[in-house]
Amino acid sequence: MADLKKKLSWGGNFCRGFLCCFNFLFLLGGIILMALGIWVLVDTDSKHLTAILTDNLHHTAAYIFLIAGIIVMVVSVFGFCGAKMESKCCLGMYVFFLVVIFIIELAAGCVALYFYVKTDVENDLTKTLKDNYGGNSTADESITSSWDFIQKTFDCCGVKGNASEAVRMYGMSTWYANQTGTPKDIVPVSCCKNEEMADACQHATGSYATYIHDQGCSEGVKGKVAEYGTVLGVIGIIVAVIQLMGMICALCLCKRL
């Protein structure tokens, strides 16, 4: 091994030392990717967004990041061993797996950014509110729970516009049609500014804004979509670029062995 090390030029030794240190960053990158994927999958807001939005690409990206993070942590061992032992075999496997992970992470980052740019929040919210809120199926119950959570969290009611628009929107919903009591509630309790005055809120006439949240939920949901899309996309692309630098360094070391 000592003779082999003497054959390395100063450039080769630099690549070898740099790659050994760089794999510590790879390991950290894998941990960050795995933690990021877990965060998106278990975050309460994310779960509720998944229920009320028909396009859940942020969850797809999160699963990809979780898997990629685990693989990166394993592959970093090949890179460290290949650089330390000056093994072309280990370095070759390292570069191969990095190429595969690079493509996966880049794809996940693009999916996350596409989710951020293309998700039609208002259309999705309108559909789930009208067709699913207050329904009887298990899926409808999940959507109802998520809508209630969103309306309470963001102090909003309905999709867009003011309280009057929310009342109009709920008047066309499955929830309103399924009510049997008289008079019918005009909005669910989660729309009320003060749940202790729910009766006055749900049977308000004229000045709806006195009792009902006077803004739609689309802006708050768009903000959350932007948060997940931006974080997933930017971190995924940054880690992919860092790994590209590692691939170049490993290839340079292979040529000098």
If asked whether residues 89 and 144 sit together in one domain, one would say no
Is residue 126 a contact partner of residue 170, using CB atoms and an 8 Å limit? no
| Structural domains counted in the chain | 2
pLDDT tens digits, 206-229: 789 899 999 999 989 888 877 877
- C-alpha to C-alpha distance for 91 and 250, rounded to whole angstroms: 6
If asked whether residues 8 and 108 sit together in one domain, one would say yes
If asked whether residues 158 and 241 sit together in one domain, one would say no
| Stated pTM of the model | 0.73
Question: In this predicted model, which residue has the larger pLDDT, 92 or 83?
Answer: 92
For the residues 92-100, what does the mean pLDDT come to? 79
- C-alpha to C-alpha distance for 113 and 58, rounded to whole angstroms: 9
- C-alpha to C-alpha distance for 112 and 251, rounded to whole angstroms: 30
If asked whether residues 165 and 104 sit together in one domain, one would say no
Structure tokens at 42: 């278990």
Model pLDDT, residue 8: 47
If asked whether residues 21 and 115 sit together in one domain, one would say yes
If asked whether residues 94 and 158 sit together in one domain, one would say no
The CATH number given to whatever domain includes residue 185 is 1.10.1450
For the residues 34-53, what does the mean pLDDT come to? 83
Give the domain range for residue 170: 122-219
For the residues 153-162, what does the mean pLDDT come to? 93
If asked whether residues 187 and 212 sit together in one domain, one would say yes
Map 100-162 to HEC letters: HHHHHHHHHHHHHHHHHHHCCHHHHHHHHHHHCCCCCCHHHHHHHHHHHHHHHHCCCCCCCCC
If asked whether residues 88 and 195 sit together in one domain, one would say no
Q: Which of 149-158, 176-185, 244-253 has the highest mean pLDDT?
A: 149-158
Model pLDDT, residue 41: 82
Is residue 81 a contact partner of residue 145, using CB atoms and an 8 Å limit? no
If asked whether residues 243 and 200 sit together in one domain, one would say no
Using only C-alpha atoms, the chain has a radius of gyration, in whole angstroms, of 26
- C-alpha to C-alpha distance for 60 and 90, rounded to whole angstroms: 31
If asked whether residues 171 and 199 sit together in one domain, one would say yes
Closest by CA to 84, choosing from 21, 10, 9, is 21
| Angle formed at CA 244 by CA 225 and CA 35, multiple of 5 degrees | 40
Q: Which of 21-25, 27-31, 218-222 has the highest mean pLDDT?
A: 218-222
If asked whether residues 95 and 130 sit together in one domain, one would say no
pLDDT of 12 strictly over 60: no
Model pLDDT, residue 215: 94
If asked whether residues 24 and 56 sit together in one domain, one would say yes
Q: How confident is the model at residue 23 (pLDDT cuts 50, 70, 90)?
A: confident
Question: In this predicted model, which residue has the larger pLDDT, 244 or 176?
Answer: 176
> Angle, to 10 degrees, between the axis of helix 218-256 and the axis of helix 10-42?
160
